């Protein structure tokens, strides 16, 4: 539940951050403060970004699942 709440909050915050103009120290090129379209384009062009993303989140999901499993088994 906590993970879903965080995901929803970040998705909601992503919309206004796309429309906030930014200049270089905050971005490599003048444009948006956050640009999800550019992020997905980078992921399409470079498989290593996808591997790094899943490599980061996979252990976190596994640890959360194991913690929940043991709380149910041994209350």
Quote the CA–CA distance of 36 and 43 in Å, as a whole number: 10
Quote the CA–CA distance of 44 and 54 in Å, as a whole number: 14
For residues 44, 10, 71, 67, the Cα torsion angle rounded to the nearest 10 degrees is 40
41-59 pLDDT per residue, tens: 999 999 999 999 889 888 8
pLDDT of residue 22: 85
Structure tokens at 45: 């062009």
Give residue 74's pLDDT band: very low, low, confident or very high (50, 70, 90): confident
pTM over 0.85: no
From first CA to last CA, the distance across the chain in angstroms is 19
- Summarize the confidence of residues 51-69 as an average pLDDT: 86
The ranges assigned to domains in the chain are: 1-33, 35-75
């Amino acid at each position: 539940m906590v993970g879903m709440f965080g995901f929803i909050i970040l998705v909601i915050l992503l919309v206004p951050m796309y429309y906030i103009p930014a200049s270089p120290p905050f971005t490599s090129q003048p444009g948006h403060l956050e640009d999800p379209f550019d992020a997905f384009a980078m992921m399409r062009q470079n498989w290593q970004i996808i591997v790094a993303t899943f490599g980061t989140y996979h252990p976190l999901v596994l640890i959360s699942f194991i913690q929940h499993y043991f709380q149910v088994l041994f209350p």
